[in-house]
Amino acid sequence: MRVTLLGTAAGGGFPQWNCGCALCARCRRGELPPRFQDSVAVSGNGRDWWLLNASPDIRVQVEAAPALAAGPGPRDTPVRGVLLTDAEVDHSLGLAVLRGGADLTVYAAHPVHQALSTALPLRGLLDRYAPWRWQESGSADRTAASAPFALTGGLTATLHPVGTKAPKYVTEPAAGVPWVSAVRIEDPATGGALLYAPCLATWPDGFDDLLASVSCAVVDGTFFGAEELGRAVRSPDAGQSLMGHLPVSGPGGTLARLARHPDLRRLYTHFNNTNPLLDPSSAAAAEVRDAGVEVPEDGAELTV
């Protein structure tokens, strides 16, 4: 299975357009590489590609990946569809950029489809350009994985609920439903499997077992520390309670939990613009590298 990390930043990208923090300023000066908002492309045969989330940057991301280039016909594309981990705007607004693409399929859990049909009505809008297939993949039981489903190109996917945080634009979200999923992609021909989990508000029950079932995991690295956001924007109210993401560091952070899986290839993604991991010379980046976890840049290509 081929995997391309099309973008590795959290919502707003890096630098963020309305942020003057130290890291964003350094990026604008050319001292740190910019990053697009988080999205991944996967393929089992190198010809049929699936997007994991569709960020608002998706047009530029697709154009930057040679394997996703349009052709040979005037409207041909190797992109077959999108698997959504949630209904957040930074993961779903790219669907509007893909409008007019023929025969695309969108997979997501039931509450995500509901949100994209009502509160953020992209589904009706997009179907006026070219009818797509909208497939609900998930379970009403927030602890149960979806049934496996086949993706064109020889891959098999499952969605695993990992969180119940609804997008802010949903005014009256149902409580306790699986708003957030991790995506497990397997190549049955080789046995290789990828887990993509860019949003982890908690470490769910069974998540260690899920990690043990794959050969590579790309997981939530949004914030390095619990107080990072508040310090960066000089606001005591912007602490962990507002993040919706486990921090990387600390005794309950993801780095300590990932240490239980030393034989697994582990990568972070979804970096907020305040995250010191964006600076490869930082002490935070050194700590993560010493733990055997990777901090990839946009465009990184993996073979799983």
Residue 163's CATH number: 3.60.15.10
Contacting residues for 268 by C-beta, under 8 A, at least 6 apart: 218, 219, 220, 221, 248, 277, 288, 293, 294, 295, 296
Query: Is 230 domain-assigned?
Result: yes
Contacting residues for 275 by C-beta, under 8 A, at least 6 apart: 23, 221, 222, 223, 224, 228, 284
Buried b (16+ CB within 10 A) or exposed e, 171-200: eebeeebbbbbbbbbbbeeeebbbbbbbbb
Contact predicate 85/199, CB 8 Å: yes
Query: Is 302 domain-assigned?
Result: no
Query: Is 56 domain-assigned?
Result: yes
Domain count, the chain: 1
262 Cα distance to chain centroid = 22
Query: Is 99 domain-assigned?
Result: yes
Contacting residues for 18 by C-beta, under 8 A, at least 6 apart: 12
Alpha-carbon torsion angle 32, 33, 39, 44, nearest 10: -130
Query: Is 300 domain-assigned?
Result: no
Query: Is 197 domain-assigned?
Result: yes
Range of the domain at 119: 2-294
Contact predicate 201/252, CB 8 Å: no
Query: Is 255 domain-assigned?
Result: yes
108 to each of 89, 254, 279, 291, how far by Cα in Å?
A: 14, 25, 33, 33
- The predicted model scores a pTM of 0.95
User: pLDDT digit of tens for each residue in the chain (304 aa)?
Assistant: 999 999 999 999 999 999 999 999 999 999 999 999 999 999 999 999 999 999 999 999 999 999 999 999 999 999 999 999 999 999 999 999 999 898 999 999 999 999 999 999 999 999 999 989 999 986 656 568 899 999 999 999 999 999 999 999 999 988 888 999 999 999 999 999 999 999 999 999 999 999 999 999 999 999 999 878 656 555 555 444 446 799 999 999 999 999 999 999 999 999 999 999 999 999 999 999 999 999 999 999 999 9
Query: Is 141 domain-assigned?
Result: yes
Helix (H) or strand (E) holding 111: helix 110-117
